[in-house]
Amino acid sequence: MKLDYLEIYDTTLRDGAQSEGISFSVDDKIKIAKKLDDFGVDFIEGGWPGSNPKDMEFFEQAAEIEWKNARIAAFGSTRRVKSQVFEDTNIRLLLAAKTPVVTIFGKSWNLHVTEGLRTTLEKNLELIHDSIDYLKQHDKMVIYDAEHYFDGYKANPEYALQTLQTAVEAGAERIVLCDTNGGTLVHELLEIIEASLALDLGVPFGIHAHNDSDVAVANTVAAVNRGLNHVQGTINGYGERCGNANLCSVIANVALKCDTKVKEKVNLSSLTNLSRYVSELANLAHREEAPYVGNSAFAHKGGIHVSAIRRNRQTYEHIDPSLIGNHQRVLVSDQSGQSNILQKAEEMGIDLSGNGHDVKNIVHHLKEMEHLGYQFEGADGSLQVLFMKATGQYKPFFELLSARVLIDKREDDSIESEAVLKIRVNNIVEHTAAEGHGPVDALDKALRKALEPFYPTMKSLHLVDYKVRVLNSEKATAAQVRVFIESSDDVSVWGTVGVSENIIQASWLALVDSISYKLIKDNKDVHEQ
Amino acid sequence: MKLDYLEIYDTTLRDGAQSEGISFSVDDKIKIAKKLDDFGVDFIEGGWPGSNPKDMEFFEQAAEIEWKNARIAAFGSTRRVKSQVFEDTNIRLLLAAKTPVVTIFGKSWNLHVTEGLRTTLEKNLELIHDSIDYLKQHDKMVIYDAEHYFDGYKANPEYALQTLQTAVEAGAERIVLCDTNGGTLVHELLEIIEASLALDLGVPFGIHAHNDSDVAVANTVAAVNRGLNHVQGTINGYGERCGNANLCSVIANVALKCDTKVKEKVNLSSLTNLSRYVSELANLAHREEAPYVGNSAFAHKGGIHVSAIRRNRQTYEHIDPSLIGNHQRVLVSDQSGQSNILQKAEEMGIDLSGNGHDVKNIVHHLKEMEHLGYQFEGADGSLQVLFMKATGQYKPFFELLSARVLIDKREDDSIESEAVLKIRVNNIVEHTAAEGHGPVDALDKALRKALEPFYPTMKSLHLVDYKVRVLNSEKATAAQVRVFIESSDDVSVWGTVGVSENIIQASWLALVDSISYKLIKDNKDVHEQ
């Protein structure tokens, strides 16, 4: 039996979270799940209840949310050899997660049965049967992940097939063939799939591939082309060791290049955005060279390529990047740089060539700042302030006379951060101080205290996000630091950026840009010195 | 005709150098070429003479070197439509490069002939023929890269095949099918290869794949399995847009999992080293999750996995990592059970159950810290200190009495960071101060100044990496911050971690752990209070 569409099972929050360097908070997980739901995936595997406290907390919160497209799945193993199914801790926690779907993994590889579980092949079939049967009695949709299926099949094909049969007899509604160690190449995978489909179990099959041989996406797409339309993977291919099949690539390949239908609810044109969002929450740099969704995926260097794509995009682009929400970039071309910047300024209502200014100089200045580590993609606030400065349209809202930040740490580990600020507004000198949770918080508080009497609308300004990236981290504590701040005033949201060797200075630059942007917005006419 | 071994053609220095962010110096290129030669590749494509001055300089230097295994190749296009072959600048520069091998690319796709070259299909065959024929007259070995072959075949199979036939008739010794736009999936690729081999041209075929569909390695391996044993690719998959086929993965897959022979001269066990070396010279971070050669490729996190690999490595490793010069690693994380932690402690030579301590309590404590935002995966230094503290084996090397950090910012935007520190070492109170590039740098300097007289080995300690992650960034400047520090003393490298609402405090915690780790290492017996 074959599904007549691509069924997307996302395990970013469980298998993806096994990536070295990823550690999602419960809050991160809820945010990502909502984004996946918006995008249109069918299943969201939230975690393994009981493996750590965060996972259960996620399921508690998830149960309260009305999901539009996705069903939430809890993941866990078959019952233990020594416990009865109804008293098995793992199985009980799976039920406690209160998800509509439970994904159970069991052993298909005789080696794992005897060396891992240290039980008999016979007994392992019982574990599979009991666990699925019990979950079905509790009205769960059960997906069966056949762990190490391909290695198992190579070692003992009869037994591997028997485990699948057992799972189906117990009521599993999906049978997912897992290449857990990621060691299988495409041709082997297809041979084993062929032999397994011959069983004709009457249940849709799926594929779960790992990337240890650098072919996880190819394996997944090959399986889909053979009718295994339930695909498990992660956004950006996150996952332990070399990662899982990258759903971004899989979905794009299937949607744009294969016969299998991708449901209409799948919002393909937000794929790039989804990918970036998840890397942001994982706090991993978005891979520039990532297929389809990377910043370089449709970037063309000068020369032959550029003149050819100007005549016909198809000459050097395998798909139209807008289909997946990405865009073409032409590199090392001042001409195109200029037109981008002109377009951006126009959007902001700024006439860059006004006041007799030269757009070329502004572009040049911007490139210099980018060379220093500035990045304006998420920092429209800073960009607008910069445009206004460059064209003489900016008048500062205050003048900094001095700022001092003091961090005081005592023997008992208590710590205090204090900022002392002297600024001039309207020719009045304000000398003020504030404490905060850290040096930047203290600076922010002191600055507001000084400015609010003059600019009452600042009360509505608040910071919603704060990010730090160390640029040349190998210079260690003397490295260049980039700070991104996202601010909002309940009407709009804007980003600002600051770069310095000193994290406090970088934060200060981003803070001041944020306040300037806000005040420009509110005081289009009344600029005060 | 089929080669009876894998013929490795490396284009890291040409196609790889098209990567966004890569800019090799001539010196870099020579170094990489030597490394590739040592490793045992068959061909090294050094560049496109004439495309920039660096490339010609490389060829001049390369001509003076005695290569052990590799032949150097120069890359260029067929002659221009409007010039005779002997007066064509491109062809003349190819000869001037004085390489034994020349790789010529020509158009196979009718679209590119008419839209790119703006000439007739007939004329394009002449360009291919003339260029190869002329180079053969000059005793070059000629490799023909059929650009856009797969797209060309889809558009006009007869014409695409005709271009190959022309190249062979003119004397090309290899015909390389290129998926220039990287849009072809494995099954399509194999169909087109099948049809093309049917021509039976009597010359070995090769494959050149790009990764725009995330299947470049799979395509290359599939082609090899079909007898296209000449493979073109780059180390680490560098290349324009989404990169080229990653030779590290291709070579490992073919050597360890396919029937095609890999020559004995290929030094497989230095593959990881080669990969790291090239990323070092490219000045790009080595991809942790890279298949085979990445630092995470054989890293195990989940508790179940770890207990299984302790019994039998094969259970969760698709190959023995030492075959390609990599090694197994066990990570500690919130997924991990007791067995990870036991093994980790064992590696560090710490007996966790010694002194009557309970491993369960230690695991519990670790999980609580992870819940707070700590992450020990890259922080072996902090982990060791924590283990020693938990088992009563740790005696502090100094006592903090007070620390004060002052950041002073003036109107002229100059900024100064100063740290004042009072600590007690060996019952002596040290009161000292230092300036730095930022608050953390100042703290680091002050701490060293105070400690070095007591612990002279600290002089060899230096910080090599500094990373900051804001954990709950939506709390903006009052968010929890995690700081990672990597330190080294020229003998070993270790990571430490600190978490706090206050970035200075988080940095302090990581700094102190780093110093403690260093001093524990150096003073196994002589603990001072």
Tell me the pLDDT tens digit for each residue of A339-372. Answer: 667 767 877 888 877 667 778 788 878 877 877 7
- Please check the confidence at residue A7 and state whether its pLDDT lies above 60: yes
How far apart, in whole angstroms, are the C-alpha atoms of residue A244 and residue A212?
9
What would the DSSP string read from start to end of A239-257? -STT-B-BHHHHHHHHHHH
Residue linked to tokens 């080995």: B457
Closest-CA distance of chain B to residue A398, Å: 12
CB–CB of A299 and B240 under 8 A?
yes
The pLDDT score that the predictor gives to residue A300 is: 79
Judged by a CB distance cut-off of 8 A, whether residue B410 touches chain A is yes
Residue of A nearest to B245 (CA): A214
The pLDDT score that the predictor gives to residue A305 is: 66
Q: Which chain B residues are within 8 Å of A242, Cβ to Cβ? A: 289-291, 294, 296-297
- Answer for the pair A74, A80: CB distance below 8 angstroms, yes or no: no
For a pLDDT cut of 90, what percent of chain A falls above it?
64
Q: Which chain B residues are within 8 Å of A253, Cβ to Cβ? A: 185, 213-215
CB atoms within 10 A of CB B200: 8
* pLDDT tens per residue across span B187-223: 999 999 999 999 999 999 999 999 999 999 999 999 9
CB–CB of B472 and A410 under 8 A?
no
- Tell me the residue ranges of DSSP E strands in B356-491: 399-410, 415-425, 428-436, 462-470, 481-488
Residue of B nearest to A298 (CA): B241
The pLDDT score that the predictor gives to residue B492 is: 78
What would the DSSP string read from start to end of A140-190? -EEEEEEETHHHHHHH-HHHHHHHHHHHHHTT-SEEEEEETT----HHHHH
Largest CA distance in chain A: 87
Shortest CB distance from A508 goes to which of B215, B409, B476? B409
How far apart, in whole angstroms, are the C-alpha atoms of residue B162 and residue A473?
53
Largest CA distance in chain B: 91
Residue of B nearest to A244 (CA): B289
How far apart, in whole angstroms, are the C-alpha atoms of residue B184 and residue B177?
12
The pLDDT score that the predictor gives to residue A124 is: 97
Q: What is the mean pLDDT of residues B301-318?
A: 76
What's the token pair of residue B318?
């698709």
Q: How many CB pairs under 8 A join A and B?
A: 370
- Please check the confidence at residue A285 and state whether its pLDDT lies above 80: no
* A238-242, A329-333, A388-392, B252-256: segment of lowest average pLDDT: A329-333
- Answer for the pair B180, B207: CB distance below 8 angstroms, yes or no: no
Q: Which chain A residues are within 8 Å of B243, Cβ to Cβ? A: 289
- Please check the confidence at residue A334 and state whether its pLDDT lies above 50: no
Judged by a CB distance cut-off of 8 A, whether residue A1 touches chain B is no
CB–CB of A411 and B399 under 8 A?
yes
Task: Please choose, from the candidates A294, A213, A218, A226, the residue with its C-alpha nearest in 3D space to the C-alpha of residue A250.
Answer: A218
Q: Which chain A residues are within 8 Å of B186, Cβ to Cβ? A: 186, 218, 221-222
Strand-strand pairing, A329-330 and A299-300? parallel
The pLDDT score that the predictor gives to residue A337 is: 57
Q: Which chain A residues are within 8 Å of B279, Cβ to Cβ? A: none
Strand-strand pairing, B299-300 and A230-233? unpaired
Q: What is the mean pLDDT of residues A286-292?
A: 92
* pLDDT tens per residue across span B388-416: 888 888 889 999 999 999 999 887 778 89
* pLDDT tens per residue across span A37-77: 999 999 999 999 977 778 999 999 999 999 999 999 999 99
- Please check the confidence at residue A236 and state whether its pLDDT lies above 90: yes
- Answer for the pair B493, B464: CB distance below 8 angstroms, yes or no: yes
* A36-50, A297-311, B440-454: segment of lowest average pLDDT: A297-311
For chain A, give every domain's residue range: 7-281, 299-372, 399-528
Most confident residue range from A247-261, B317-331, B508-522? A247-261
Judged by a CB distance cut-off of 8 A, whether residue B304 touches chain A is yes
Burial B491-522, CB ≥16 within 10 A → b, else e: eeebbbbbbbbbbbbbbbbbbbbbbbbbbbbb
CB–CB of A404 and B404 under 8 A?
no
What's at A193, amino acid-wise?
I
* CB-based contacts of B132, cutoff 8 Å, min separation 6: B104, B142, B144, B167, B170, B171, B172
What's the token pair of residue B391?
């088992």
Strand order in the sheet with B481-488: B462-470, B481-488, B493-500
Q: Which chain A residues are within 8 Å of B335, Cβ to Cβ? A: 17-18, 48, 51-52
How far apart, in whole angstroms, are the C-alpha atoms of residue A384 and residue B204?
58
- Answer for the pair A479, A453: CB distance below 8 angstroms, yes or no: no
H or E element at residue A418: strand A415-425
- Answer for the pair A372, A347: CB distance below 8 angstroms, yes or no: no
Judged by a CB distance cut-off of 8 A, whether residue B311 touches chain A is yes
Of 1.20.58.100, 3.40.50.800, 3.20.20.70, 3.30.420.40, the CATH number of B7-281 is: 3.20.20.70
How far apart, in whole angstroms, are the C-alpha atoms of residue A325 and residue A272?
5
CB–CB of A218 and B186 under 8 A?
yes
Burial class (CB in 10 A: 0-12, 13-18, 19+), A75: buried
How far apart, in whole angstroms, are the C-alpha atoms of residue B112 and residue A97?
57
How many residues belong to chain A? Answer: 529
* pLDDT tens per residue across span A107-154: 999 999 998 889 999 999 999 999 999 999 999 999 999 999 999 999
- Answer for the pair B143, B102: CB distance below 8 angstroms, yes or no: yes
Q: Which chain A residues are within 8 Å of B258, Cβ to Cβ? A: 185
CB–CB of B477 and A19 under 8 A?
no
Judged by a CB distance cut-off of 8 A, whether residue B227 touches chain A is no
How big is chain B by its Cα radius of gyration, in Å? 29
The B residues from 72 to 91 touching A (CB cutoff 8 Å) are none
Q: Phi/psi of residue B61, each to 5°?
A: -70, -40
* pLDDT tens per residue across span B65-84: 999 999 999 999 999 999 99
* pLDDT mean across residues, chain B: 90
How far apart, in whole angstroms, are the C-alpha atoms of residue A431 and residue A332?
48
Shortest CB distance from B217 goes to which of A215, A296, A409? A215
Q: Which of B326, B408, B409, B472 to mutate to test the interface with A (most CBs of A within 10 A)?
A: B409
- Answer for the pair A214, A243: CB distance below 8 angstroms, yes or no: no
Burial class (CB in 10 A: 0-12, 13-18, 19+), A477: buried
Is the domain spanning A399-528 CATH 3.30.160.270? The answer is: yes
The pLDDT score that the predictor gives to residue B525 is: 42
**Confidence band, pLDDT 50/70/90 cuts, at residue A333:** very low
* N-terminal to C-terminal alpha carbon distance within chain A: 74
* CB-based contacts of A258, cutoff 8 Å, min separation 6: A221, A224, A225, B185
The pLDDT score that the predictor gives to residue A38 is: 97
Q: Which chain B residues are within 8 Å of A19, Cβ to Cβ? A: 289, 296
The pLDDT score that the predictor gives to residue A528 is: 38
The B residues from 484 to 523 touching A (CB cutoff 8 Å) are 485-486, 500-505, 507-508
Q: What is the mean pLDDT of residues A177-195?
A: 97
Residue linked to tokens 């899989």: A250
How far apart, in whole angstroms, are the C-alpha atoms of residue B84 and residue B101?
22
How far apart, in whole angstroms, are the C-alpha atoms of residue B213 and residue A252?
8
Determine what percent of chain A falls in helix, strand and coil, rounding each to the nearest 5.
45, 20, 35
For a pLDDT cut of 70, what percent of chain A falls above it?
92
What's the token pair of residue B432?
């000292």
The pLDDT score that the predictor gives to residue A526 is: 44
What's the token pair of residue B427?
């019952």
- Tell me the residue ranges of DSSP E strands in B41-140: 43-47, 71-77, 101-107
Q: Which chain B residues are within 8 Å of A300, Cβ to Cβ? A: 240-241
Q: Which chain B residues are within 8 Å of A440, Cβ to Cβ? A: 477, 503
What's the token pair of residue A451?
């400015």
Shortest CB distance from B467 goes to which of A19, A319, A470? A470
**Confidence band, pLDDT 50/70/90 cuts, at residue A431:** very high
* Domain A7-281 matches domain A399-528 at the CATH topology level: no
A62 to A57, A281, B251, B335: CA distances (angstroms) = 9, 18, 45, 20
- Answer for the pair B315, B308: CB distance below 8 angstroms, yes or no: yes
* pLDDT tens per residue across span B357-381: 778 888 888 877 877 778 786 788 9
Residue of B nearest to A506 (CA): B438
Task: Please choose, from the candidates A497, A31, A40, A26, the residue with its C-alpha nearest in 3D space to the C-alpha of residue A268.
Answer: A40
Burial class (CB in 10 A: 0-12, 13-18, 19+), A426: exposed
- Answer for the pair A484, A504: CB distance below 8 angstroms, yes or no: no
* A226-235, A276-285, B202-211, B500-509: segment of lowest average pLDDT: A276-285
Shortest CB distance from B377 goes to which of A20, A312, A415? A20
CB atoms within 10 A of CB A232: 28
* pLDDT mean across residues, chain A: 89
CA dihedral A67, A69, A72, A78 (to 10 degrees): 160
**A312 compared with A212, residue with greater pLDDT:** A212
What would the DSSP string read from start to end of A466-524? EEEEESSGGGGGGS-EEEEEEEE-SS-EEEEEEEESSHHHHHHHHHHHHHHHHHHHHTS
What's the token pair of residue A462?
């608040």
The A residues from 341 to 400 touching B (CB cutoff 8 Å) are 399-400
* pLDDT tens per residue across span B267-305: 999 999 999 889 877 867 788 899 999 989 998 876 667
**B478 compared with B104, residue with greater pLDDT:** B104
- Please check the confidence at residue B335 and state whether its pLDDT lies above 60: no
Shortest CB distance from B464 goes to which of A225, A440, A476? A476
The pLDDT score that the predictor gives to residue A525 is: 42
- Please check the confidence at residue B527 and state whether its pLDDT lies above 50: no
